[in-house]
Structure 1
Amino acid sequence: MDYNKSYLVISVGLWTGIVVGIIGALIEIGLIVYISIILMLGSLVQAFIFYKCPNCKKPFNIRGKKPKYCPECGCALE
């Protein structure tokens, strides 16, 4: 998986987990809340594994926008 797909997976996974968690909390179904936590943790884990520079393999900061250049090696990203 490349960094673009990883960024998409973390964005969708975190937002879906938040929405599902809020809905589960509002209707008071604990299983849905646990599923949303697992969904969010899974998206974070894959980000730590795959969200990195394709050139130097240094991880990107997941708290922000997708970079246009690698902060470590300066490689131009798509």
Structure 2
Amino acid sequence: MAKIAVEQPFEDVKAALEQKGHEVQMFNTDENVSGFDIGVVRAINEGNNDEFDFPVVSMKGMSIGDVVDAVETRVNQM
């Protein structure tokens, strides 16, 4: 089970990850977020690469199922 940060307003992603047994917390983009195993963000841009002290998955162009699969793959590699 991983501790996952999900960017607001993606409650549906939070619910899907919780169903897989992960501990999920929502965060706002302007928050300083740390202490998580992995994060899910709307998109990764040049400016926010060093914003997080954990790996992030970008939701850009992905379905909820794709995001959950990507997170689980990353978690299993840890």
Q: TM-score, normalized by length of structure 2?
A: 0.25
Greater C-alpha radius of gyration: 1
Q: TM-score, normalized by length of structure 1?
A: 0.25
The structure where strand makes up a greater share of residues is: 2
